[in-house]
Amino acid sequence: MMFNVNLKKVFNSEKIVIEECELEPSNLIDHIPNLDKNYVFELNVLNEVLLYLIYPFKDCLYISGPSGCGKTTLILQIAARLNWGVEQITLSNKCESLDLIGHTTLKRGELVYEYGPLTRAMLYGEILILNEIDLMSPGDLSVLNDVLEGKPLTILANNGEVIKPHPQFRVIATANTKGFGDMTGFYNGARLLNQAFLDRWRFIEMGYPKPIVELEMLKNSFPDLGLEMSKKLLHFAHDLRNVVEQGIENGVRQISAPFSTRTLLKIAALLSVETPYTVHKIIKMCFALRLPDVEHEYVMRLCNDIFGHEKQILKVTQKSDLGNEIEVSENNEDHSAESDTDSKEVKVEKKSRRRSKNSTDREESVA
């Protein structure tokens, strides 16, 4: 049964381009993604995806963008709010067309044909998400050509069964490249895709969310983090991303890994819980330690510039066994200063004793 859906109300924005549409909710509740109430949409990209979902015109949607910018999450959260079922598969250079269509398998002593994600999505009117599509062989992807144009799928391995696409069947692919191979050096294994294949797609290019959007993500997901720390994290992310982008533009890679929104949220999550670890240690665990030594050193210098030096932070935050704050740096300096003074006094005293003893010996020898 079709229902009229007010998209402006669903996404709580008057700037949604398409106001209403008719959709049939998925009968397979398990296939509807979990809704994240804290998720923040970027309006421009949201409108482009909704335009495809409501008016596909026998196209498919190809979303390219850097690692961890939220390509798949965006589709899942849109589908969750529209009660639209999703089938997704992460492709690789080992994937074959059978992984998408289906294969014969042995169950309870009988050979039965088991549908793949492509076939299930066509049957039930779901969104098929093909993650990392640029890692799969172009030859194996060619089996999708007719399906992408809205034609039926013929399964020869299942006695020539013909699967007609449901009216709400959609195909969305995500990738770090646009099908021309990796131009950054970050994504080994990305392949050149066939241009006849790419001609069947509509394209959206995503980047990392704007700072104001990432700030909302941090505030919604980790309210205990605090506004000051959130802004410092965004400052840190912005500076690192600038270095990465400048390196790509100049053809000289200065940082070997992108600083993704996924990494930003990972760091924020660890900072939001009570642990003895400083922000410096958490940034090392979540990002810096994966880099070569020179790049690691640069990232930690930037960390010191934005968050302050680690020793100063330890002086304020480190706890004693009794749970009381202790001033690590100052106490250590005081103790070391006292010990240095004591040692100097001992040395002076020993020297004076030696001198007095030597003078006594000389007097006795003269006598």
120-146 CB burial, b ≥16 within 10 A, e <16: bbbebbbbbbbbbbbbbbbebbeebee
Whether the per-residue pLDDT at 297 is higher than 70: the answer is: yes
Whether the per-residue pLDDT at 334 is higher than 60: the answer is: no
pLDDT > 90 in the chain, percent: 73
Phi, psi of 155 (to 5 degrees): -105, 95
Whether the per-residue pLDDT at 254 is higher than 90: the answer is: no
pLDDT at 338: 45
pLDDT at 185: 82
Whether the per-residue pLDDT at 360 is higher than 90: the answer is: no
Whether the per-residue pLDDT at 339 is higher than 80: the answer is: no
Q: Rounded distance, CA 37 to CA 77, Å?
A: 9
pLDDT at 236: 97
Q: Give the model's confidence band at 330: pLDDT under 50 very low, under 70 low, under 90 confident, else very high.
A: very low
Average pLDDT over residues 103-130: 94
Residue 308 structure tokens: 């302050």
Whether the per-residue pLDDT at 169 is higher than 60: the answer is: yes
Other Cβ atoms closer than 10 A to 246? 12
Instruction: With CA atoms as reference, report the closest residue to 257 among 283, 282, 230.
Output: 283
Average pLDDT over residues 312-327: 50
Helix (H, G, I), strand (E, B) or coil at 201: strand
pLDDT at 129: 98
Do the beta carbons of residue 193 and residue 199 sit within 8 Å?
no
pLDDT at 354: 52
Residue 252 structure tokens: 């000289």
Amino acid at 115: Y
Q: Rounded distance, CA 273 to CA 268, Å?
A: 9
User: Which residues touch 351 (CB under 8 Å, ≥6 apart)?
Assistant: none
Stretch among 86-95, 118-127, 181-190 having the lowest mean pLDDT = 181-190
Q: Give the model's confidence band at 356: pLDDT under 50 very low, under 70 low, under 90 confident, else very high.
A: low
Q: Rounded distance, CA 21 to CA 42, Å?
A: 21
pLDDT at 355: 52
Q: Which residue is associated with the tokens 């050149």?
A: 192
40-51 CB burial, b ≥16 within 10 A, e <16: bbbeebbbbbbe
Q: Give the model's confidence band at 217: pLDDT under 50 very low, under 70 low, under 90 confident, else very high.
A: very high
pLDDT at 311: 67
Whether the per-residue pLDDT at 336 is higher than 50: the answer is: no
pLDDT > 70 in the chain, percent: 84
Q: Rounded distance, CA 81 to CA 36, Å?
A: 9
Average pLDDT over residues 265-285: 96
Other Cβ atoms closer than 10 A to 236? 22
Q: In the chain, what are the domain boundaries?
A: 3-205, 211-317
Q: Rounded distance, CA 277 to CA 228, Å?
A: 18
- Output the average pLDDT for the chain: 87
DSSP state of 33: P
Stretch among 32-36, 220-224, 239-243, 317-321 having the lowest mean pLDDT = 317-321
**pTM of structure:** 0.81
Average pLDDT over residues 59-79: 97
Beta strands 127-131 and 86-90 are parallel
Average pLDDT over residues 225-232: 96
Per DSSP (E only), the strands in the chain are 3-6, 20-23, 60-64, 86-90, 102-107, 110-115, 127-131, 153-155, 161-163, 170-175, 201-205
pLDDT at 251: 75
Whether the per-residue pLDDT at 328 is higher than 80: the answer is: no
User: Which residues touch 266 (CB under 8 Å, ≥6 apart)?
Assistant: 286
Average pLDDT over residues 297-315: 84
Q: Rounded distance, CA 32 to CA 23, Å?
A: 14
Q: Give the model's confidence band at 183: pLDDT under 50 very low, under 70 low, under 90 confident, else very high.
A: confident
Instruction: With CA atoms as reference, report the closest residue to 55 among 11, 6, 21.
Output: 21
Q: Rounded distance, CA 269 to CA 265, Å?
A: 6
What angle (nearest 5°) sits at the alpha carbon of residue 61, between those of residues 89 and 179?
80
Confirm or reject CATH 1.10.10.10 for domain 3-205, answering yes or no.
no
**Alpha helices of 158-260 — where are they, by DSSP H?**
195-198, 211-221, 227-250
